[in-house]
Amino acid sequence: MIADVYIELKEGVADPEGEATKKALRLLGFKNVKSVSSRKVFRIEIDARSREEAEREIRQMCEKLLVNPVIQNYSIRWVE
């Protein structure tokens, strides 16, 4: 099974990478850019007996390493 884990900053948390990218795009002449936000995606291939088991394990990965729950949210989307 393959899952994509999407990680993004929570509402109200500063996104310096997104702001810097927006500024650079405007300097390059893209004046219609209203906002830019950064996200991370981890593609995880996992060998589990069921989707429920795989999701449980991926959530543990997120809670223990991949996500800072104070400033980030995450979602899991299945590829296969």
Distances (CA, A) of 23 to 8, 14, 15, 31, 58: 20, 15, 12, 10, 35
Task: Give the integer Cα–Cα distance in Å for 18 and 35.
Answer: 8
Task: Give the integer Cα–Cα distance in Å for 75 and 73.
Answer: 7
Virtual CA dihedral for 54, 58, 11, 34, nearest 10 degrees? -80
Architecture of domain 2-78: 2-Layer Sandwich (3.30)
Taking the whole predicted model, whether its pTM rises above 0.85 is answered as: yes
pLDDT digits (tens, 9 = 90+) for 5-64: 999 999 999 999 999 999 999 999 999 999 999 999 999 999 999 999 999 999 999 999
- Spans of all domains in the chain: 2-78
